[in-house]
């Protein structure tokens, strides 16, 4: 059975932003790219998704920042290569961000909003964020 359509599970709009993301799992280092990002999570395009429930630190390279942004996240769903091919989509994993506190979450949400405004323009970003 194919995984549910991630579009049906989202609580926040995801902007189509391609960012490099580095992470480590069991002494192996990975470098992949996001397909999209929201205030609460991201989809990482990869043919080697981590298992559902896996937690690790993800390091995002952002054009606006000199140092990578490091966030903790948990894999909440995966789209394996075979299922992705059948759907005509990219394989990968959905990540839910985990924040240390509400201040860290608010700071990250403001950053995502700025990235969306830079990518889509302020009017489009505002309209989409109000959904």
Q: Is the pLDDT of residue 70 over 70?
A: yes
Q: Is the pLDDT of residue 1 over 80?
A: no
Q: Which of 34-48, 64-78, 116-130 has the lowest mean pLDDT?
A: 116-130
CB 51 within 8 A of CB 75: yes
The whole-model pTM stands at 0.74
Tokens linked to 99: 């924040």
Give the integer Cα–Cα distance in Å for 122 and 124.
6
For 13-124, CATH number out of 3.40.50.620, 3.40.50.2300, 2.40.10.220, 3.40.630.30 equals 2.40.10.220
Model confidence pLDDT, tens digit, residues 84-114: 999 999 999 999 999 999 999 888 888 777 7
**Residue length of the chain:** 131
Q: Which of 1-10, 54-63, 108-117, 120-129 has the lowest mean pLDDT?
A: 1-10
């Amino acid at each position: 059975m194919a995984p549910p359509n991630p579009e049906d599970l989202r609580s926040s709009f995801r902007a189509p932003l391609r960012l490099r993301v580095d992470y480590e799992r069991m002494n192996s280092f990975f470098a992949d790219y996001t397909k999209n990002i929201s205030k609460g999570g991201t989809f990482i395009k990869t043919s080697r998704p981590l298992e559902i429930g896996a937690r690790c630190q993800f390091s995002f390279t952002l054009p606006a920042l000199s140092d990578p942004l490091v966030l903790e996240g948990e894999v909440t769903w995966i789209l394996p290569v075979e299922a992705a091919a059948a759907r005509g989509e990219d394989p990968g994993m959905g990540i839910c961000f985990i924040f240390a506190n509400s201040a860290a979450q608010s700071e990250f949400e403001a950053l995502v909003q700025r990235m969306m405004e830079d990518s889509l323009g302020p009017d489009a970003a505002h309209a989409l964020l109000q959904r």
